[in-house]
Amino acid sequence: MNERVEKIRQLLRELEAEMGASTRMEDISSPSSELALVVQQIVDDLQPLLTPYDAAFYWFLFRHSIAKDGQPFLRVSTRHLSRAVVRSSYSQAEENTISLGKVQDTIRALEDVGAIHKEGEPNREGTLYRVMVPNEIEACRRFRIERIVAEPELLFPSSGIEFN
């Protein structure tokens, strides 16, 4: 078992060396297969670290930045986010927006995990954020390694690949 874990660790080190410390936006902006890989990494490595609100907000920011044009930067306001992302689960009101406090808490949580970075001061259009992909987020890289070491048999369940 220890040999298998060491082999997995070595393969991860080799992959990280090939990919570099982080994925550059130019690398994922055009080929759909690479964007699909980033989406898989978000689902596997980032989403388990987020609350449902955090995940919904991250996906919204990702869709309107990297998935839209390959650019990681996006300017948004808390007021816009309160109406555009998801509906409140606590209100039956017709508009049914998320409270501004909840939006601020969610943005703070995404910043704390490293999923977004504030890049400037707020202005009339909102605040400029950089949306990070999982290879750029330290918490995701740690989670990925912990998951692989803890559950190596789940790595490639249907691929037929075996580690001897």
Q: Say what percent of the chain tops pLDDT 70.
A: 72
Q: Domain containing 148: what range?
A: 2-154
Q: Which of 19-33, 65-79, 108-122, 124-138 has the lowest mean pLDDT?
A: 19-33
Cα 74 to Cα 5, 62, 77, 87: the distances in Å are 40, 9, 10, 21
Both structure tokens of 58? 């991250």
pLDDT tens, position by position, 74-132: 999 888 888 787 766 665 556 667 788 888 999 999 999 999 999 988 898 899 999 99
Residue 80 maps to a domain = yes
Task: Establish if 161 belongs to a structural domain.
Answer: no
Identify the weakest region by mean pLDDT among 17-21, 62-66, 127-131.
17-21
Q: How far is residue 113's CA from residue 69's CA, in Å, rounded to a whole number?
A: 24
Whole-angstrom distance, CA of residue 130 vs CA of residue 116: 5
Number of domains forming the structure of the chain: 1
Q: What is the pLDDT of residue 28?
A: 44
Instruction: For residue 11, tell me if it sits in a domain.
Output: yes
Residue 164 lies in a domain: no
Task: Examine residue 160 and state whether it is found in any structural domain, yes or no.
Answer: no
